[in-house]
Structure 1
Amino acid sequence: MTGPSPYRPRHGTPAAALLVIGDVVTDVVALHRSPLAAHTDTAARIALRPGGAGGNVACWAARRGARVRLLARVGADWAAWHEEALRAARVEPALRVDAEAATAVVIALVDAAAERTLVTDSGAAVRLGPDDWDEALLDGTGHVHLSGYLFFSAPGRELAAVVAKAARARGLALSVDPASAGFLRELGTARFLDAVSGTDLLLPNAAEACLLAGRAEPADAAEELSVHCGATVVVTLGADGALVAAGGRVTARVPGLPRRAVDSTGAGDAFTGALLAARLTGADLPAAVAAGCAAGAEAVTVVGGRPAAGGRWDADGR
């Protein structure tokens, strides 16, 4: 640890809320302990879970004691189920119900090493746009977090620009999680970096950071991104923890916590939610990153991307 980061929540107080804007998804999680067999059956334990990067971040932040509200778009098919799940997790949902598109669905194929492959139908999530915005959502807010999935659709990018402008007008700090290396390649890294210009806190994983910076090493990528974006950059390193860069240099390294991994789905979202909750309640950035690492370690021990309401989910997904 070589020094503090300049990133500070601008209006963060214990009473201030975290506003998350992103996706809510119906997750179908299939845990298969043998390799997928082509042209026949592969045995798996299959669980249905509420998910989505935006929803997951919100729930993990609420688990860590933050007041959280979430703006997302869902289809009428699963709207009631998702609203109930969010309220049970102590998240205030601002769900826009789409009369035409179904709720987003992700099939997560999780292997014996707890690594997941995602098959995604973005559904109503990619239709979240400026018409869904209500500036009253910023009332009482101390920090705004944008899920990177917003930036992979035209309406989402428009909404992100509107929200960023409104947040800056109120002096609120803004964070972005790039979300998906695959979707970043499709969009183009230059286009994404231009869209997130002015962000206070960028939260990529190692693969996303290296892709965005065009560097092979996460530390080098973090340093470059901190200069290019003018942001504090926190890169998650899986079981190895996380590192922080600001002003072109690594300012902190936080080790991971060893856990027996069951499902890595949502571990990055858990990290983000816990980090932001800790910052809103006054933790310095290294301590907040440590809280994020602890949440990420907890997340890999349960099935799906969210904490269970009031307890753990078991490794069999029940």
Structure 2
Amino acid sequence: MTGGTGAGAWAPAGAGAGPAGGLLVIGDVVTDIVARHATPLAAATDTAAEISILPGGAGANVACWAAHAGVGGGTDSGKGTGRGQGADPGAGADLRAVDVRLLACVGPDSAEWHEEALVRSGVRPILRVDPEAHTAKVISLVDATAERTLLTDSGAALRLTPDDWSDDLLEGVAHLHLSGYLFFADSSRAHARVAMKAARAHSIPVSVDPASAGFIERLGVDLFLQSIAGADLLTPNLAEAQLLTGLSEPADMALKLSHDFSLVALTLGADGALLAAEGQLLACVPAPPATPVDTTGAGDAFTGTLLAARLSGATPVASARTACQAASRSTTYAGARPYQPSARVPPMD
């Protein structure tokens, strides 16, 4: 594999003065069923829980956080609320508005609800409705430590095909982001490769979030790495990086991956993130302290904010600092997107 366009730590196309360049995210839209339980699960009987139905999906979450960052959500402290209020003058990135678009596949059961939620978050949805599949659903079991276990029904999420792609989707786009979930099914993997090839033909940088260590293991590490070859930015978490490299030390993982990608941002949960480029460590960026309620989507908050910051022209380190703030803040309330009350509960088939 080779790193992507731009030397060093990924120089984003279109960064500079004025509005940030457009961001196209291709990924998954999911109906999240979040069950927070304060006691261990009791087999064969009831366990008390707080249950919420929320819009989610790694790709959709990244898009929402990128849009949120560009309207002032990337540098706030939240004053402990996690709801995007207040300002943090010590944040590392001066963010500008980002035109964020999301291409995804959903079922007819909740397409309208998801489209409304994306629009409220400032994202321009490009939703393909598959009449033969339901929208993806994830049951997120969140324990007393805020750690989550996911039960996933991919539904329509992995049913994008190359026929769903058009180079016109890249008009006004300065960066393409691909959710790793796309690479776990033949049709959506083929779609992702077509999109990546088109982006590179237009000198548009590409990022990939590996998304799921469990799915990578089932697919096969070699096939996954072959499929994402040519991406410029990789944003794995610790479990994904360990699987992709076979190494045990985070710094070694980041360094190894940085030989294949222009910039690697390895997220470490409460410990922040490691940045590496071209075989060199750039920084270890700490995460602000937080009292976690739900860690679902913290990595998506990091990635979306990082992309918005880089598109605004911020350095990798400043971008990661702002992204760590957003990720930390996202754990202080239930749900995987910037906080906002849901307008209505979606229909459930």
TM-score w.r.t. length of structure 1: 0.94
Match for 2:147 among 115, 122, 127?
115
Q: 1:189-227: CA deviations, max 9, x gaps?
A: 111111111110011001100110000111111111111
Determine if contact 1:28/1:107 at 8 Å carries over to the other structure. yes
**Pairing 1:51–2:56 present:** yes
Structure 2 counterpart of 1:306: 337
Identity %: 59
What is aligned with 1:9? 12
Q: CA deviation at 1:264?
A: 0.2
- For 2:330, the aligned partner's letter is A
RCO higher in structure (CA 8 A, sep ≥6): 2
Q: Does structure 1 conserve the Cα–Cα contact (< 8 Å) formed by 2:234 and 2:261?
A: no
- The answer to whether structure 1 residue 198 and structure 2 residue 230 are counterparts is yes
Deviations 1:277-318 (A, max 9, x none): 01111111100011110110111011111012489xxxxxxx
Match of 1:126 in 2: 158
Give the secondary structure class of the aligned counterpart of 2:12: coil
Between the aligned partners of 2:251 and 2:245, the Cα distance in structure 1 is: 11
CA drift of 1:73 comes to 0.3
RMSD: 1.4
Q: CA deviation at 1:164?
A: 0.8
Does the 8 A contact of 2:146 with 2:294 survive in 1?
yes
Runs of 4 or more off by more than 6 Å in structure 1? none
Asked if the contact 1:24–1:72 (Cα under 8 Å) also holds between the matched residues in 2, the reply is yes
Q: 1:222 aligns with which of 246, 254, 267?
A: 254
Equivalent residue of 1:69, what SS?
A: strand
Distance 2:318 2:341 in 1: 24
Q: State how far apart, in whole Å, the 1-side matches of 2:278 and 2:262 are.
A: 8
The partner residue of 1:289 within 297, 320, 332 is: 320
Query: Contact 1:29/1:47 (CA < 8 Å) preserved in 2?
Result: yes
* Maintained 8 Å contact 1:5/1:245: no
Secondary structure in 2 matching 1:64: helix
Query: Which residue of 241, 245, 266 maps to 1:235?
Result: 266
Which residue number corresponds to residue 29 of structure 1?
Answer: 34
C-alpha distance in structure 1 between counterparts of 2:9 and 2:30, whole Å: 34
Deviations 1:58-96 (A, max 9, x none): 000000112100000000000000000000001000000
Deviation at 1:249, TM superposition (A): 2.2
5+ unaligned residues in a row in structure 1: which ranges?
A: 312-318
8 Å contact kept, 1:198–1:231 = no
Query: Residue 135 of structure 1 corresponds to which residue in structure 2?
Result: 167
Residue 255 in structure 1 maps to residue 255 in structure 2: no
Q: 2 CA distance for matches of 1:280 and 1:62?
A: 12
TM-score, with structure 2 as normaliser: 0.86
Q: Would the aligned equivalents of 1:62 and 1:90 in 2 still touch at CA under 8 Å? A: yes
How many Å separate the matches in 2 of 1:70 and 1:12? 20
Instruction: Letter of the 2:337 partner, please give it.
Output: R
Could you say what secondary structure the match of 2:231 adopts?
Answer: coil
Counterpart of 2:90 in structure 1 is none
2:116 is matched with which residue?
84
Q: 2:297 aligns with which of 244, 252, 266?
A: 266
Instruction: Show the 5 A alignment for 1:56-205.
Output: 56-65=61-70, 66-205=98-237
Contact 2:9 2:316 in 1 (8 A): no
CA distance in 1, matches of 2:144, 2:20: 42
Q: Distance in 1 between matches of 2:50 and 2:163?
A: 40
1:87-111 deviation per Cα after TM superposition (whole angstroms, max 9, x unaligned): 0001000000010000000000000
Q: CA deviation at 1:240?
A: 0.5
What is the CA distance between 1:15 and its match in structure 2? 3.9
1:51 counterpart letter in structure 2? G
Q: What is the CA–CA distance in structure 1 between the aligned matches of 2:273 and 2:178, rounded to whole Å?
A: 20
Partners of 1:208 and 1:39 in 2: how far apart?
32
- The 2-side partners of 1:255 and 1:233 are apart by 16
